[in-house]
Amino acid sequence: MKKMLLVTQGLFHPSWWARKLLREILEELEGVSFHSVNSMESLPQDLESYAAMVVYVHHKTISENALHRFATWVKEGGGVLGIHTATASFKQQLLYFEILGGRFIGHGPVERFEVQPIASTVFQDIPAFSVRDELYIHELQPGITPHFVTQHRGQTVPVVWTYQYGAGRVCIAVPGHWARTLKNKTYQKVLQQGLLWASGR
C-alpha cells in the first residue's frame, strides 16, 4: 500500500465540491491510501514515508521552512501531482516554480477548449477531450515534457506536463477550476495516471 498526501483547502477556488470529487476519483486507484492536510505548513513529520503528494490549493504565502521541506522531499524522490491552482499559489517564490516546472502568469475567461494528446508513455490510450474551464498560461521551465496541449491565440499551450526535479517526478494538470471539469471521465484518467506516474508506479 502506497501512502499519498492530499494537500487541499477551499470553498470556492478550488471549490469544496471539486475537492471532494477529486478525492473520490483518486481513491478509485488500487493499492494507495490518502491522508489530507489543508496547507503546506501542515506537512506531516513522516513526509518521507509518502510516495506522492497531490497539491490542489490556492494559497498566497508559504514559510521558508515549509518550502524547504517540500523542495528537499521532491528532490530526494517525492512525487507531485499539481492541479490548477497549484501553479497559481506562492507566486513570489521562485523555488516553488522551479519545482513545478512552470509559473502561472494569467488566464482568460472560462471557456471550452479542446485538449489534444501527444504520444506518451506516461498517459496511454487516453484520447482527445474537451473541457470548459480556465486555461492557465505559464512561464515554463526548460525541460518540461508536454503530454496534452491546446491552442490559444495561435500558440500551442501545454495543458498537462511532466517534469523532473532532482530525483522527484512532477506532473501538472491545468484544468480544475470547478467540479464539473473533474466530472469529465477522460480527464479523470489523466489525473489517475498522472498520480501513479508521480508515485513511481
All structural domains of the chain with their residue ranges: 2-198
Task: Give me the phi and psi of 65, to 5 degrees please.
Answer: -65, -45
The rounded distance, in Å, linking the Cα atoms of 93 and 99 is: 10
- Per-residue model confidence (pLDDT) at position 11: 87
Query: Can you read off the three cell numbers belonging to residue 171?
Result: 506532473
Pair 64, 96: CB distance under 8 Å? no
- The CATH architecture to which 2-198 belongs is 3-Layer(aba) Sandwich (3.40)
Which residues, given as ranges, of the chain have pLDDT below 50? Answer: none
Which pTM was predicted? 0.97
pLDDT for the residue 119: 87
Contact (Cβ atoms closer than 8 angstroms) between residue 123 and residue 190: yes
Q: Is 66 left (phi over 0), alpha (psi -120 to 50) or beta?
A: alpha
Residues 6+ apart with CB under 8 A from 159: 115, 135, 146, 148, 149, 150, 173, 174, 175
The pLDDT value recorded for residue 179 is 96
- What's residue 175's pLDDT? 98
pLDDT at 120: 87
Distance CA 180, CA 184 (A): 7
pLDDT of res. 152: 94
What angle (nearest 5°) sits at the alpha carbon of residue 160, between those of residues 158 and 163?
A: 95
How high is the pLDDT of residue 49?
97
pLDDT value at residue 30: 95
Separation of alpha carbons 25 and 183, rounded Å: 9
pLDDT of residue 201: 74
Pairing of strands 168-173, 111-117: unpaired
